Amino acid sequence: MRFAGKLLLTAILAFVFHPADGHALKCKALPSSEVKYEKYDGIILAQVEDIVQTAEYRQVGLKVLKSYKGIDDRTVTIYEDVDWGPSNVGEENLYFLLQTDRGWENPRCSPTDRADYAGEELEFLSDKELPLQPVPAPITETADVTRHVQQAAVEPEIGKQSTRLSLRWWHLTGFAGLLILLGLGLRRSRRV
């Protein structure tokens, strides 16, 4: 019984702690600043304002400080991979972005880097700076209503995220309970 119990416990632990979608990330280094400039649809220097993380992606709100290609808005929302995204709130980064069906995306293996490490790239981009849109007019009552409508459209996704997290929590709690019961059963079988 001891051997069977240990074998069962090992199988359960291997199942619970096995990374289902683990994989190595191999990125090719892009040869030059010119190639990077041609490859990406949007290139900006931006400060990270906020990050909303879901199970599938990170939604990153950026304040655009300078634009070098494809973007003229003063604020932009981008998407990053949950496991790879380099953004941290408060940091200034040089972003190399692709335009996708979802919007602007900071893809895996993008040469996005912190601004203080991107001196060579910023030097290359210095003569390519684009003007940003003018600062918007003060908020009016109509703008407030529009903002609330847009926020309401985002709230259902937040509900889905909390449901997924709740399900994960219950799964982990259930496995922990199963392990405790299995441990008590093994302990009891040793005494008998």
pLDDT tens profile 95-136: 999 999 999 999 988 999 999 999 999 999 999 999 999 876
pTM greater than 0.85 (yes/no): no
Question: How crowded is the C-beta side of 94, counted as CA atoms within 13 Å?
Answer: 22
pLDDT digits (tens, 9 = 90+) for 130-181: 999 987 666 665 555 555 555 555 544 444 444 555 556 666 677 777 777 7
CB count within 10 Å of CB 86 equals 16
* Calpha distance 151→147 (Å, rounded): 6
Whole-Å CA distances, 103 to 35, 106, 182: 22, 10, 48
Q: CB-based contacts of 190: which residues, under 8 Å, 6+ apart?
A: 2
Whole-Å CA distances, 74 to 44, 45, 61, 71, 185: 10, 11, 11, 9, 62
Stronger pLDDT, 124 or 30, i.e. the higher one: 124
Share above pLDDT 90 across residues of the chain, in percent, rounded to a whole number: 44
Q: CB-based contacts of 167: which residues, under 8 Å, 6+ apart?
A: none
